[in-house]
Every structure is written in structure tokens, then in C-alpha cells.
Amino acid sequence: ALSRELTKNLYISLACAFLVAISPWHIKFSRSTFEAITALFLSMVGLFLFIKSVNQKLKNFWIPSVFFALSLYAYHAQRIFTPLLVLGLFYIYRKVISQHKRPLLTFLLTGALIILPLLIVFLNPKASIRAQSTFITRDFDINRFLHKTGEDLSITTRIFDSNFLITANFWTKRYLDYFDPNYLFVEGMDFTKANAPDIGLLYLIELPFFLFGLYFVLFSNFIKDAKARNVI
């Protein structure tokens, strides 16, 4: 439905549905009912309804807010991902949204009401235990490289090999690793709980579709048409 709304092409949307259905990571985690899949579903429904509402001049604009807000309850990562996604959507579709103040207010109020119980929970000190245990400086691998408190460091080390630079380099590399073709198409599943060697998150045969998708977004008339319709 999301690809159909974006492309207005039935065949592309059917191809997208088929590729998701046979995707290794989706088969594994959706069949095991991981909360991350539930969160992804809620976010994607919110994204679909958001774009559909924008195309209809913000009709029923409060509905996607419901799904975005519910995704925050489903999985920890969504509490960072979903707000960034919504901010990105607001920026992309700012021309349409800026012309309809009332639907925007309804969107924000609906989301705030649904999120309110979650915010109350966050005020409890125990709610921060998860965040503390998964903070970027608590990672097991990086702790082997960080300088310990009280360690005698030279001026050069303090400047060029500080804990800040070590942490920044470590996480930048780890983030970029997720875009490594070898990880995506060859051995990505080996790093998951499924522990399936020689299988990527996507099949190698999907690489041409992946490249075509990048081309479609960057070089086709998709963006030009949206601008012509004064959507973005």
C-alpha cells in the first residue's frame, strides 16, 4: 500500500510486497513475533497514512499520528526513530502542512495525548535503566578501547585519542557498516539471533531492484512531479 501510494504503480507495489514476503530478515523476525516487527508495522502504517493524507490536503491528518504514537510503545528504538521520521516528513511536506494549520494542531494534540502515559512512565527513575544499559559508551566492544578514569595520558593522547574521538570513530564505523553491501546481501543474518551464515538481510538477486530504487528516487520524475503538485 505504501509503495502504491508513492509510485501510483500497481506492478511496482506488487513487486515490493513479494520481495518483503520472501526477505530473510522479515521471515525470521515476523514469524518469531519480535516487538521490533510490530513497531515497524505501526510506523509504516503511520507513514502510509501520513503520505495519503498529505496527498488529500491533510484530510484525516490525525489518524497517522495515532499509529506513530503507538509505535513508541512497541519498541525502544522507535522512541528515537519515529520522532526523527515525523520531523523529516514535516520538512519534506512543509509546503502543504504550512497551508493547513488546524489539521497540524490536531495531529500534534492527538499524538501528545496518546504519548502522555508513556511520558509519565519515563519520569520514573527505573525507566532509564534500559537507556543506561544500552548507552553508546556502555557497549562491550568499545569499552576495550576507552581510557579508564585516572589513567595517566599524554597531551597528544588527550587531543588525538580522547574517549570522545574513540567513541565517535567507533560508532561512525558501526553505523556505516550497516550500508556495507557485504552485510546487506551476503552475511547480514549471521549477526542476528537467527545466526544464519552466508545469508544477507536481502538476497543478492535483489541488488538490481535496490539499485533501481535508488535511481528511481534520485533521478526519475518522482521528485519533480511532487514539486509540480506543490507537495514538497
User: pLDDT for 91-127, tens place per residue?
Assistant: 988 888 888 889 999 999 999 999 998 888 777 666 5
- Say which residue the cell 490525525 belongs to: 62
Q: d(Cα 140, Cα 138) in Å, to the nearest integer? A: 6
- Whole-model pTM: value is 0.72
Return the pLDDT at 122: 73
- More reliable by pLDDT, 99 or 177: 99
Q: In this predicted structure, what is the pLDDT of residue 108?
A: 93
For the ranges 1-10, 77-86, 124-133, which has the lowest average pLDDT? 124-133
Percent of residues, the chain, with pLDDT higher than 90: 19
pLDDT at 34: 77
Neighbouring residues of 29: CB distance < 8 A, sequence distance ≥ 6: 36, 37, 192
Q: What pLDDT, on the 0 to 100 scale, is given for residue 195? A: 62
| Confidence check: pLDDT of 219 > 70 | yes
Rounded distance between C-alpha atoms, residue 217 and residue 178, angstroms: 20
pLDDT of residue 113: 94
Q: Rounded to the nearest 10 degrees, what angle do helices 78-92 and 35-55 cross at? A: 10
Please check the confidence at residue 230 and state whether its pLDDT lies above 70.
no
Region 79-94 average pLDDT = 91
In this model, does residue 227 exceed pLDDT 90? Answer: no
Q: What is the pLDDT of residue 45?
A: 93
User: What pLDDT, in 10s, does the model give residues 30-54?
Assistant: 777 778 888 888 999 999 999 999 9
Question: Looking at residue 129, what is its pLDDT?
Answer: 60
Higher pLDDT pick, 223 / 165: 165
pLDDT confidence band for 181 (50 / 70 / 90)? confident
pLDDT value of position 67:
95
- 140 pLDDT more than 70: no
* Residue 138, pLDDT score: 65
The Cα 129–Cα 126 span in angstroms is 6
Residue 204 DSSP label: G
Beta carbons within 8 Å of 214's beta carbon, 6+ residues apart: none
Res. 64: pLDDT tops 70 = yes
Residues 36, 29: contact at Cβ < 8 Å? yes
Residue in the structure block whose three cell numbers are 499520528 = 65
CA distance 98 to 111: 18
Mean pLDDT value across the chain? 80
Q: What is the pLDDT of residue 95?
A: 86
